[in-house]
Amino acid sequence: MKLPTRLWDSRPPRWFRITSVGLAVLFAVGLRNAHGLIDVFWGVLACSLLLVNAVAPKGLYDGRFNAWTQKHPIVSGGLVFLVLGGSALAVLSDYVDSWLAAVIVLPLSAAFVAWITYRERATTRET
């Protein structure tokens, strides 16, 4: 039996996309039982990633989203800030108070996004 080099060579099968939508709906329904902001954040993040996986699964890894991120640097930077800052805030708030985690994480995430945007803009201007 020949093992595939990738999970699938073309478009993912229909069952994969339907399962992603079903899991996203389950996460969305689970948001009714969210007890805090961190629970809401993880639920929304899981829903959005599963829906992107269902709508454009190959765009996540084949480079189709690169043109969009270069055309919309502010929006893509905002999305990186939300995902990176929210994830770091959720992890750090388990160890320190939520307000202290926000004071630490949000400026660091904003600085990181500004640095990445600057680097990307400088790289595109040189080429």
40/46 Cα distance (integer angstroms) = 10
pTM > 0.85: no
Domain boundaries along the sequence of the chain: 12-62, 63-127
15-51: pLDDT as tens digits: 888 888 898 899 888 888 888 777 888 888 888 888 8
pLDDT in tens, 50-82: 887 777 766 666 666 777 777 888 888 888 888
Question: Angle at Cα 25 formed by Cα 23 and Cα 26, nearest 5°?
Answer: 65
The residue among 1 and 14 whose pLDDT is bigger is: 14
Q: Using CB atoms within 10 Å of the CB of residue 53, give its burial: 0 to 12 exposed, 13 to 18 middle, 19+ buried.
A: buried
Report how far residue 35's alpha carbon sits from residue 42's, in angstroms, rounded to the nearest whole number.
Answer: 12
